Amino acid sequence: MKLSPTSRQVLDEALARTKLRSTKQREHVFAVLLNKRDHPTADEVYARARETMPTISLATVYNCLETLVSCSLVRQVNIEREPSRYCPNLHEHAHFHDRRTGRVYDIDVPADFATTLKRVLPTGYQIDHVELAFHGMAPAKKSQNAEGKRQN
């Protein structure tokens, strides 16, 4: 699995800012996350990574994911007591966790979301980071085409 030149440049610059270097394994794990943006767990990333890099270990995948999170290239998404999931969407958004299927979907938030939240904070407080997750169930009889359009 290959990174596009733009994604490779983004990865290289983010790693350089944190004084780390790019490796085949980091590039591969990042490509896996960008290829299918369905909020996989580390085990799912590992399974996908092994399809085209059979020698990669689970420990290496965990280390790569930790590095990508620390470089702000990927967000770690924690849903209740489930394993952490990984999201390469760095735009401001929320998540919807479908309790029936276990899937996680990106939900766009209004452009003025952070500004609106700032108005409800006590005076002098500032927002550094917001994590918003909705929990519920998608309609039981959802067409495959409609489901595919909602997932990022």
Class of domain 91-150: alpha beta
CA dist 117 and 110 (Å) reads: 11
Residue 27 confidence class, pLDDT cut points 50, 70, 90: very high
Considering the chain, what percentage of its residues have pLDDT values greater than 70? 92
For the chain, domain boundaries:
5-77, 91-150
Kindly report, residue by residue over 95-134, the tens digit of the pLDDT.
899 998 888 999 988 888 877 877 888 888 887 777 888 8
Task: Tell the residue number behind the tokens 């939240």, with chain if given.
Answer: 117
Specify whether domain 5-77 bears CATH 1.10.10.10: yes
Kindly report, residue by residue over 6-21, the tens digit of the pLDDT.
999 999 999 999 999 9
CA dihedral sign, ordered 121, 122, 126, 128: negative
Domain 91-150 in the same topology as domain 5-77: no
The amino acid at 78: N
Q: 22-26, 35-39, 62-66, 116-120 — which is least confidently predicted?
A: 116-120
